[in-house]
Amino acid sequence: MHKGHIEGLHCAGCVAFATKTAQEIEGVEEVNISLLHKTIEISVAKHEQADTVKSVLHEAGYDVTWDGQPQEELLEDKSILIRMITAIVMAVLLMGIHLMHGFHWHPLPKVVEDIAALLFASVSFAYCALPYHQRALKMLKLKTTNMDTLISLSISVAYFFSIYIILSSHLREEVSHDTMHYFDAVGMIVAFVLVGKRLEERAKQQTTVAYRELMGRVPQQASVKRDGEFVSVPISEVVVGDILRLRQGEYVAVDGVVMEGTATVDESTITGEPIPKLKDAGDALFAATVSTSGLLEYRAEAVGKETLFGKILEAVKRVQGMQAPIQRIADKIASYFVPVILLLALLTFVLWSVSSIPGSVSLGLFFAVSVLAIACPCAMGLATPTAITVAVGRAAKEHLLISNVVALENMSGVTDVVLDKTGTLTLGRPQVVASLWWGEKEAIKRVVIEAERRSTHPLAEAIIERLSVGLTERKEISLVGFEEKIGKGLEFEDVQGIRYKIGSAEYADAPTKNPSEKSVLSGFLLSHPNATFIYLSRNGYLTAVWAIEDCLKSTATSFIQDLKSGNITPHLLSGDREEAVKALALKLGIDKYKGGLTPEDKAEYLRALKGKGKKVAMIGDGVNDSPSMAVADISIAMATGSDIAKEVSDLTVIGTTLTPISTFINLSKRTKRIIYENFAWAFLYNLVAIPMAAGVFYPKLYISPLWSAGAMAMSSIIVVANSLRLRRVKL
């Protein structure tokens, strides 16, 4: 995948044309261009084909720089600003001449007025609007059109027709202050277009505020050990293996490992957990987290884009540049929009010219220019990407990492949510909540601890933690014939020849010695309906039973209630025993549940739901539940710490709380509504404005070229402003 910066994009039509141009090149497999970020990503069969893409796009008027940002960008911005200020001055001077006519005040001879108007309009036409003419000519050579075509043509028609009017009046010696030209329209159209474009760019920049705020959490300088002393160096000069210092209040510069010292670090940026964590030697540190107290030194393990936070930033930026499915419809419409407008403008001129109204040709040109100036495909093109960009940034601030923009568009229509139990509704940290012993002894505990240390079972750590309470130093224990049977348990002998079995009741095969023990065991099992039980037998007799539970997340109950109140049906699927799954489901108010399922069973369950026409989201750990996640319409993974970098789902919740998923559902609904509002405005604007500009309602209601360009600019700004509401809306 080649990534780079692309200049020359000015509207949705530009994006559609540039994308189509690149896709038509042999060997290009995928093209993704972002109007907001001005970035391009392509996938090519051969490395050298990236240069071909760059060359072809350059011929089409788009300058691509791979892996970097053009140095000329700031100079271009300064040039645009100068052109805009000049255009405003020229427009004011031309409007002054126009108002002199309106008030019948003529302090200057008509020829002087006309020369002044021609001079001011020429500056606007030849200098201020020059980039639009250049791009329009490039499009003409490529036998296509875009927004620049409309702007250039409207200005050109008004400019040259005005020259024709004043020349013909002077040549016929019919010079009169009542002779009207359209130089003022030239000045106002150029000024409105340039001012509107700048305001639109400023508004579009606001859509990426959340992304820039995230970037702001990475320090620009770092305290690095050089020749035995700590010195401040730019973050770009830090390399893997460097030793850095972290003081109170400073942000961690790179991912690393604590070498010495102690500090508390707020990792909420990464994990979503608000409580700072104590860090000392051997603990991991993540870039963009902040020290709240203490002093420590750490070794750089990953820098720049390779840090966990760098990967999060890259993911956010990548998704902000993605096209939602609905955007493809808008791009298709935009590709036909300009040719249709050109035909409508021509039709307007012809119909007015052949009419019997006095001055019909002048009116025809007047309204044709208005049509060209007022039509706006930009609003349509911005309807989706601006809303998506703001929403992705808002999601990142809510500890949600979107990997697939389709999830943002489709989550609002989800009818069923399937949840895994362990790590999703529970904390994913099993604990021994109770134990039952027959002859508890320290020696037996030590033997079991040694065996569990050799085990790969996920519950082994919980048993070790429980049995280690109260024990002092570790003692070496010898085991004979140690064997672990995956999915069943452990079997071995101690040095005294006593045979141990640890595992399920069936595997341990340890009957109770008498009815009294059996009664006690039954009561123990019934008192822990949510637990998983691990049995210990010695020489065929039951010695201990541990009840292990994974504690329920504090937000689990409220999350299920949020789903049900939103008419979304929750389903609980787990590989745990049916009784434990049922008890948890009843506790949470989940009516549909199944236990004892394999990953393939879960996937089949989802297929059955989708077969009934349901739109299904799957929430799991992103790894063990990958078969069912692949089947789901939307896959959501719970992740903390370094797990975030491994996610492969459509959406990753950064942290352990479930609340962000409820937030995401609401964000999806709001985003979809904003997109539809933007499209409604874009269509309504063009539906109403173009007939008015064409003079359909003349003389009662019409729009002059003076104000047509202003209306066009405002239509795009309104779309962007509407999208920006997502930054502040309550979710």
Active-site amino acid positions: 420
φ, ψ of residue 479 to 5 degrees: the values are: -120, 145
CA–CA distance, 178 with 101 (Å, rounded to integer): 7
Neighbours of 674 (CB within 10 A): 24
Contacts 24+ apart (CB under 8 A), 502-509: 502/448, 502/451, 502/452, 502/534, 502/535, 502/536, 503/534, 503/535, 504/533, 504/534, 504/535, 505/533, 505/535, 507/535, 508/535, 508/536, 508/537, 508/542, 509/537, 509/540
Q: How far is CA 243 from CA 222, 230, 246, in A?
A: 10, 9, 10
Q: Which residues pair with 231 in a beta bridge?
A: 224
Q: What tokens does 164 get?
A: 């024709």
Neighbours of 145 (CB within 10 A): 20
Exposure string for 379-406, b = 16+ CB within 10 A, e = fewer = bbbbbbbbbbbbbbbbbbebbbbbbebb
Query: Who's near 293: CB < 8 A, 6+ residues apart?
Result: 248, 263, 264, 276
φ, ψ of residue 48 to 5 degrees: the values are: -65, -15
Q: What tokens does 468 get?
A: 């280690």
CA–CA distance, 579 with 329 (Å, rounded to integer): 50
Q: Which conformational region is residue 504 in: left (phi greater than 0), alpha (psi within -120 to 50 degrees), or beta? A: beta
Instruction: Tell me which amino acid residue 191 is.
Output: A
Number of alpha carbons in the 13 Å side-chain half-sphere of residue 71: 0
CA–CA distance, 320 with 227 (Å, rounded to integer): 43
CA–CA distance, 174 with 178 (Å, rounded to integer): 10
SS3 state of residue 152: helix
CA–CA distance, 280 with 38 (Å, rounded to integer): 43
N-terminal to C-terminal alpha carbon distance within the chain: 36
Cis peptide before 699 (omega within 30 of 0): yes
SS3 state of residue 192: helix
What's the chain's Rg over C-alpha atoms? 35
| Spatial CA neighbour of 180 closest among 154, 194, 161 | 161
